[in-house]
Amino acid sequence: MTDTELELAQLLCTRLCHDLAGPIGAVAAGVELIGGDPAAADTETLGLIGSSSHAASLKLKFIRAAMGSTGAAMDMEALLDGYLGATAGMDGKPAVRWPAPAAFESFAGAAGPHWRQTILNLCLAALEMQPGCKELAVTPDGRKVKVEAKGHAARSTSRRDDLEAALMGAPKALSAKTIQAFLAGRIVRAAGGVVEVAAQDGAVDVIASF
């Protein structure tokens, strides 16, 4: 393993740990409140443990599908919906628009056996490039797919620019925040595709073509 490969592996591990730290920490806090006496658990504490463990499970399923070594079969809609629910803030999760499954036929043939993984990573990259995303639309068109994230005007243009640079394979600096976008671009290019970004205030389009 080269130094660069080692750094990428370390950054991915850091990113995954960051994603899981919240719900797992909440489970640990709930267990600590109970102490050594399960009978002392109240409804609120049990609810915290239950909801947090469920959120951790949903995140793990999505992460395994998007970033792990997986087979081709997966339910993209269910995985993304679960992840968005587990990471939703006070404003709730973004609405997601998916086409009929048959619409992916040409794209799947062009992008190869891991085309679903490609789409999940493009979705995550688009979401992170558009802070405050309210709606995510996945639109296949022949040998390409567009993921459009709509929301409020970007709260941090520099952060979005960093993610775009990472997605394009020319990161200004790789970090735990930019590593997923970098991975998404690598997955597209490894399958013989190209990725591009079209951004304006309140919307980001991430497009992969094969």
CATH numbers and ranges of domains, the chain: 3-209 (3.30.565.10)
Cα of first residue to Cα of last residue in the chain, in angstroms, is: 29
- Distance CA(119)–CA(30), nearest Å, equals 35
Region 144-166 average pLDDT:
81
pLDDT tens digits for 110-140? 999 999 999 999 999 999 998 888 999 999 9
Among 41, 104, 106, 45, smallest CA distance to 76 is for 104
Looking at residue 32, what is its pLDDT? Answer: 79
pLDDT at 151 over 60: yes
The amino acid at 114: H
Looking at residue 91, what is its pLDDT? Answer: 75
Q: Residue 154: pLDDT band by 50, 70, 90 thresholds?
A: low
The amino acid at 93: K
User: What average pLDDT is seen over the chain?
Assistant: 88
Looking at residue 207, what is its pLDDT? Answer: 98
pLDDT at 156 over 80: no
Q: Residue 23: pLDDT band by 50, 70, 90 thresholds?
A: confident
- Distance CA(49)–CA(31), nearest Å, equals 7
Percent of the chain at pLDDT exceeding 90: 52
